[in-house]
Amino acid sequence: MAPVDPLEEIRRLYYNATKKTIQKDLARAVQLLKSMPTEDERQRAAVYMDGLSQMRSEWAGRPNKN
């Protein structure tokens, strides 16, 4: 089995994330981000990480203000 390319895996997680899987997907993406050896690689992953974070926030819903 070929080694996982962290950027490709983060991209896959981003495009396949659902409301049910977002917590697990984001946690996995963070692990992958930490495994990236260079700042350049982490920078390229930033847009996907931001997107996953935004999805998590949106799907978590807004707290009641009452």
Higher pLDDT, 65 or 50: 50
Give the Cα-Cα-Cα angle 34, 36, 38 (nearest 5 degrees).
120
Per-residue pLDDT reduced to its tens digit, 1-50: 767 899 999 999 999 999 999 999 999 999 999 999 999 999 999 999 99
Amino acid at 37: P
Q: Where are the domains of the chain?
A: 11-57
Q: What is the pTM of this model?
A: 0.85
Per-residue pLDDT reduced to its tens digit, 36-62: 999 999 999 999 999 999 999 999 876
